[in-house]
């Protein structure tokens, strides 16, 4: 099982509920909520505030594929 982190520990990462954090992106894209399709594609991102993000259960990664 992969280790999960708290939201405050993430520079670049994702949450299984469809949230992404990318603090290397433009400020409007730091915190986003995505729809996840049946075939596990992420689409229709919407900017959200930090306070809308889940507190626990984050996966830290090196980079995001913004397709």
Report whether pLDDT(67) > 60: no
pLDDT of residue 65: 74
Domain boundaries, the chain: 7-60
Q: For residue 6, what are the contacts with CB-CB under 8 A and spacing of at least 6?
A: 55, 56, 58
Under 8 Å between Cβ of 12 and 59: no
Taking only the tens place, the pLDDT of each residue in 2-28 is 899 999 999 999 999 999 999 999 988
pLDDT of residue 28: 87
Question: Mean pLDDT across the stretch 57-66?
Answer: 88
What are the E-state strand segments in the chain?
Answer: 12-15, 19-22, 31-36, 42-47, 59-60
Under 8 Å between Cβ of 32 and 48: yes
């Amino acid at each position: 099982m992969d280790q999960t982190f708290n939201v405050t520990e993430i520079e670049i990462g994702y949450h299984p509920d469809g949230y992404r954090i990318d603090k290397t992106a433009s400020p409007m894209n730091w915190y986003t909520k995505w729809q996840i399709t049946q075939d596990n594609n992420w689409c229709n991102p919407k900017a959200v505030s930090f306070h809308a993000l889940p507190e626990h259960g984050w996966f830290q990664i090196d980079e995001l594929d913004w397709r």
